[in-house]
Homo-oligomer: A and B are copies of this chain.
Amino acid sequence: MQTMSDNVRRKRAVLMRKAKTNNLKHIAERLGLSVSTVSRVVNNKEYVKEDTRRRVMEALNECNYVPNEIARSLKSKTTHTIGVVLPDISEVFFGEIVKGINKIVSDEGYTVVIVDTNESKKNEQKYLEILYQKRIDALVLATVDLNGDSVKVFLDHSIPVIFIDNVPKLENINSVTINNRGASKLAIDFLIKNGHRDIATIIGSKEETTGSERMQGYIEALEAAGISVNENLIEYGNYKESSGYNCMCNLLSKRKENPFSAVYVTSEMMVFGAVKAIKENGLIIPDDISLIGFDVHDKTGLVRPSIATIRQPEKLIGKITGEMLLQELNSKENQGDSLDMPTRQVILEPHLFGGESVKKINN
Whether B303 contacts A17 by the Cβ 8 Å rule is no
Say which one of A90-98, A175-183, A210-218 lies at the interface with B: A90-98
Minimum CB–CB distance from A50 to chain B (whole Å) comes to 27
Whether B339 contacts A11 by the Cβ 8 Å rule is yes
Per the bound structure, the CA–CA distance linking A11 and B9 in Å amounts to: 65
Whether B302 contacts A156 by the Cβ 8 Å rule is no
Per the bound structure, the CA–CA distance linking A99 and B11 in Å amounts to: 33
Per the bound structure, the CA–CA distance linking A152 and B18 in Å amounts to: 10
Whether B301 contacts A302 by the Cβ 8 Å rule is no
Chain A, range 78-99, C-beta contacts under 8 Å to B: 79, 81, 89-90, 92, 95-96, 98-99
Q: Is A73 an interface residue (CB 8 A)?
A: yes
Whether A14 contacts B172 by the Cβ 8 Å rule is yes
Per the bound structure, the CA–CA distance linking A158 and B115 in Å amounts to: 27
CB < 8 Å neighbour of A14 from B269, B304, B339: B339
Whether A302 contacts B300 by the Cβ 8 Å rule is no
Whether A66 contacts B132 by the Cβ 8 Å rule is yes
Contact with B along A293-324 (1 / 0, CB 8 A): 00000111111110100000000000000000
Per the bound structure, the CA–CA distance linking A68 and B134 in Å amounts to: 7
**A303 to chain B: closest residue by CB:** B302
Minimum CB–CB distance from A6 to chain B (whole Å) comes to 8
Q: Which residues of B are found within 8 Å of A241, using beta-carbon distances?
A: 299
Known: A71-B74, A92-B90. A14 touches B158 (CB 8 A): yes
Minimum CB–CB distance from A91 to chain B (whole Å) comes to 10
Contact with B along A239-263 (1 / 0, CB 8 A): 0010000000000000000000000
Selected A-B contacts with CB under 8 Å, 6 pairs:
A69-B130, A89-B114, A90-B95, A90-B96, A275-B302, A302-B305
